[in-house]
Amino acid sequence: MKIAIVYNRESQAVINLFGIPNKEKYGMDTINRVKAALVEKNHQVRTFEGDKNIIHNLETFMPKVLSGERPGLVFNLSYGIQGKGRYMHIPGILEMLGIPYIGSSPETHAIALDKVITKMILLQRGIPTPKFAVIETPDEPLREALKYPLIVKPKSEAVSFGLRIVYNDEELKAGVKNIYDEFQAPTLVEEYIDGREVNVGLLGNNPVVALPPLELVFKDGEKIYTYEDKTSRKTLSRVESVCPADIDETLTKKVQDLAVRTFKALGCYDSARVDFRIDKEGNPYVLEVNSMASLGAHASYVQAANTVGLSYNKLIQKIIDVASERYFGPSINTIDETPSALRNEVFSFITQNRDRSEQELKSWMNLLTFSDDPVSKQAFIRRLDLRLKKLGVKQTSAYTDGKSHWFYQSPKGYKNGVIFVIPIDIPGLRTSYPVPFRKEPERLYGEGIASSRAGLVSVLKALDALSHVEQLSETPFGIFVYGDEGQGMRYSGSALKRLSGIADKFFIMHPSYNENKIVHQRRGALKLNVIVEGHPVRVGSNGKMPNPMKFFLDKISNIETITQNHSKLALSVQDINTNRYSVLMPHRITATIYITYLDATSARSAEIALRNAFKTSNRHLKTYVETLENRPPMIQNPNSKALSDALQSISASMGHTLESESTLLPSPAGVISTDKAVVCGLAPGSKKLFTSEESINRTEWVQKTLLITEYLMQLKQQ
pLDDT at 309 (0 to 100) = 95
Q: Tell me the fold of 347-520+642-651+682-717.
A: Aminopeptidase (3.40.630)
pTM: 0.73
pLDDT at 70 (0 to 100) = 75
pLDDT at 343 (0 to 100) = 85
The model's pLDDT over 134-171, given as tens digits with 9 standing for 90+, comes to 998 888 888 888 999 999 988 876 545 668 899 999 99
- Please compute the mean of the pLDDT values over residues 664-678 and round it to a whole number: 94
Contact 30, 295 (CB under 8 A): yes
Contact 624, 692 (CB under 8 A): no
pLDDT at 535 (0 to 100) = 92
pLDDT at 237 (0 to 100) = 64
- Please compute the mean of the pLDDT values over residues 287-306 and round it to a whole number: 95
Please give the CATH architecture assigned to the domain spanning 111-130+193-328.
Answer: 2-Layer Sandwich (3.30)
The model's pLDDT over 433-478, given as tens digits with 9 standing for 90+, comes to 777 899 988 999 998 999 999 999 999 999 999 999 999 999 999 9
CA distance 152 to 156: 12
The model's pLDDT over 394-438, given as tens digits with 9 standing for 90+, comes to 999 999 999 999 999 999 999 889 999 999 998 866 666 777 899
Query: If you average pLDDT over every residue of the chain, what do you get?
Result: 90
- Please compute the mean of the pLDDT values over residues 92-102 and round it to a whole number: 94
pLDDT at 434 (0 to 100) = 72
The model's pLDDT over 474-522, given as tens digits with 9 standing for 90+, comes to 999 999 999 999 999 999 999 999 999 999 999 999 999 999 999 999 9
Band (pLDDT 50/70/90 cuts) for residue 221 is: low
CA distance 65 to 571: 43
How far is the CA of 561 from the CAs of 27, 525, 553, 613, in angstroms? 74, 18, 14, 11
- Please compute the mean of the pLDDT values over residues 30-49 and round it to a whole number: 93
- Please compute the mean of the pLDDT values over residues 379-389 and round it to a whole number: 96
What would the DSSP string read from start to end of 176-190?
HHHHHHHH-S-EEEE
- Please compute the mean of the pLDDT values over residues 224-232 and round it to a whole number: 57
Band (pLDDT 50/70/90 cuts) for residue 368 is: confident
Beta pairing, strands 477-482 & 418-423? parallel
- Please compute the mean of the pLDDT values over residues 336-355 and round it to a whole number: 80
pLDDT at 64 (0 to 100) = 77
pLDDT top residue among 223 and 326: 326
pLDDT at 432 (0 to 100) = 64
Does residue 568 carry a pLDDT above 90? Answer: no
CA distance 131 to 123: 10
Instruction: Provide the sign of the torsion angle of the four alpha carbons 303, 307, 310, 315, taken in this order.
Output: negative
Q: Tell me the fold of 524-631.
A: Alpha-Beta Plaits (3.30.70)
Looking at the chain, the whole-number percentage of residues with pLDDT higher than 90 is: 70
The model's pLDDT over 607-652, given as tens digits with 9 standing for 90+, comes to 999 999 999 999 999 999 999 999 999 999 999 999 999 999 999 9
Does residue 332 carry a pLDDT above 80? Answer: no
Does residue 656 carry a pLDDT above 50? Answer: yes
CA distance 664 to 399: 28
CATH (one of 3.40.50, 3.30.70, 3.10.20, 3.30.2410) for 2-101: 3.40.50
Band (pLDDT 50/70/90 cuts) for residue 335 is: very low
- Please compute the mean of the pLDDT values over residues 49-58 and round it to a whole number: 92
Domain coordinates of the chain in residue numbers?
A: 2-101, 111-130+193-328, 347-520+642-651+682-717, 524-631
